[in-house]
Amino acid sequence: MRILWAPWRSSYVERVDEQEGCFLCQAFLQPEEKLRDFLVLHKGKRAFVIFNKYPYNAGHLMVAPSEHIGDYTLLDEETVIEIHRLTRLCLLALKEVLKPHGFNLGYNLGRP
C-alpha cells in the first residue's frame, strides 16, 4: 500500500485544531461508569487502552500513559512496563478475535 486513505477520518482531521485539552487525559480522568462513553477499554494504574474513535482500520487501539507526557524517555520504569504489558494483552486479544495477518505498532510522540 503506497497511500493510506481513510475518508472516515475527515471529520477528525478537519477539527483537530479546535479541540480543547487532551482527549486522552479527559478519557483517563473519567469515573468508572463513564469510561465506556469515552471508549476506554481498560484502565490500569499507570496506563490505559482506548479505542480509536477515528480508526485507520479495524482493531485500531491506543495504549497511553495516565500522565500527560509527550516525551517517552521521561516516563518512569513502571509506566513503561505497564504500557508494554497492555500492548501485549491487546495483541493477544486482537489475534484471537480478528485473526489478522500481522500488526502495525506505532508511537505518537512529541506533542505534550
| The predicted structure's pLDDT at residue 109 | 85
Instruction: Name all domains of the chain by residue range, CATH numbers in brackets.
Output: 21-98 (3.30.428.10)
pLDDT tens sequence across 44-98: 999 999 999 988 888 999 999 999 998 999 999 999 999 999 999 999 999 999 9
- Answer whether 70's CB lies under 8 Å from 109's CB: yes
Checking if the pLDDT of 3 tops 70, the result is no
Q: List strands edge to edge, sheet with 47-51.
A: 40-43, 47-51, 61-65
Rounded to whole angstroms, the Cα distance separating 47 from 49 reads 7
